[in-house]
Homo-oligomer: A and B are copies of this chain.
């Protein structure tokens, strides 16, 4: 029994921050982040003032009080987080990344006019591999700058989205849009399915990219297409995402066609299951919620897009109440018009207070949870990301909490939701790699990307005059 007693004594010392090289060998790690307010988002909502995070390779080795972690670990590289909040990287659960190149091209229009007169023609005349590469690079630049470390995407030429995302050092859950409508790359949904299978084979097992199957929506895919999608997702054990119950118009259309809600029809079609992700879920009935809960589906909430496009208000407090995983998203930059997840948190918190007429609804901590661990749950990655805990992937950001608009601060969750914005993020670590340091993105050529954005601006404007 002696070794166990010694071990217990040793752990007690270590736990109290008394560990010394004599009591326990100092371990080497790759990176130590010290001196910040560490918001762990772990099961006990630990917040560590003057906390530290130790990283080895792509994983977090330890999170704890600074003195304790520093006594136990030595690293070649140390980043000071003094005056900053250390937060799990934000998870943007819904995006169409390359659409940043169309950011603000048309706003404040009726939905069909907007789509048919501007968005669809602009996409048809401009979207190709190069557009998607540069658009994704610009989106990754903006997302890294504003604190997002993982995002979920569906667009076209998704291979280029994946290549660029991996190069940027970001984590992505990515799917090629499958739609019964000629897309810029695949002209039929069968082509889309074939593309997707190649895509799944190529990216499955990648350290940063989780490939997914992405049928656009129930009103743009038949039962046959959706079943083929689900079969593919099951075959490769990957997520399947689709837009569901986004607008009243969709709800009416599906009811006329199938005599059911979108969710009920999807359930009847047999395509729901634990790796399915619903984008939006605005017009969900209580019966829909029961189905979603039963099938283990996750829902992405996009408050800014839903407000700007006048889509409606998703029943987020109710979903959280009954235990449905809910994450936050920005949607594409044509409907928001940026990719700042801090704004998504701010809008979510305020929107649901107003709609419910209860200021206690969605308190700040719950909103930060949606932006981090909740998003990870929706993407079925909560064992790997979404909180700062030993053993998880090293995905976190340092947020400046010491600027004129941020002092004084009384509650770190409240500040993250109501005060701080993407522009306050200074440093970002994804998969153990420092991708931004003190405001400088290290994985992308910012100047070249911005030049290309201006080039695309001119080209797109010209294309719409044709």
Contact = CB atoms under 8 A, between A and B. Distances in A.
B359 A310 contact: yes
Interface string A271-310: 0000000000000000000000000000000001011111
Contacts of A336: 418
Given A312-B354, A404-B145, A461-B410, A363 B450 contact: no
Interface in A343-387: 343, 346-347, 349-351, 353-354, 356-364
Interface string A139-153: 001100110000000
A307 B363 CA distance: 13
Contacts of A446: 404
A411 B359 contact: no
* Copies of this protein, total: 2
B359 A408 contact: no
A466 interface: no
Nearest to A459: B408
Nearest to A145: B404
A454 B309 contact: no
Contacts of A308: 349-350, 353, 359, 418
A259 interface: no
B312 A103 contact: no
Interface stretch (A37-45, A106-114, A157-165, A202-210): A106-114
A216 interface: no
Contact of A360 (B110, B360, B418): B110
A227 interface: no
A339 B421 contact: no
Interface in A397-438: 402, 404-405, 407-411, 414-415, 418-419, 421-424
Interface string A83-119: 0000000000000000001011111111100100000
Contacts of A248: 357
A114 B419 contact: no
A456 interface: yes
Contact of A363 (B108, B313, B361): B108
A14 interface: no
Nearest to A420: B338
A411 B453 contact: no
Contact of A418 (B146, B338, B419): B338
A405 B340 CA distance: 9
B103 A419 contact: yes
A242 interface: no
A309 B107 CA distance: 28
B408 A357 contact: no
A449 interface: yes
A145 B405 contact: yes
8 contacts: A104-B409, A104-B414, A105-B410, A108-B353, A307-B354, A308-B353, A337-B414, A421-B421
Given A104-B419, A107-B364, 10 more contacts: A103-B408, A108-B353, A108-B364, A114-B359, A141-B404, A142-B405, A307-B353, A312-B357, A404-B450, A421-B423
A-B residue pairs, 4 tightest by C-beta: A408-B457, A307-B350, A423-B423, A108-B363
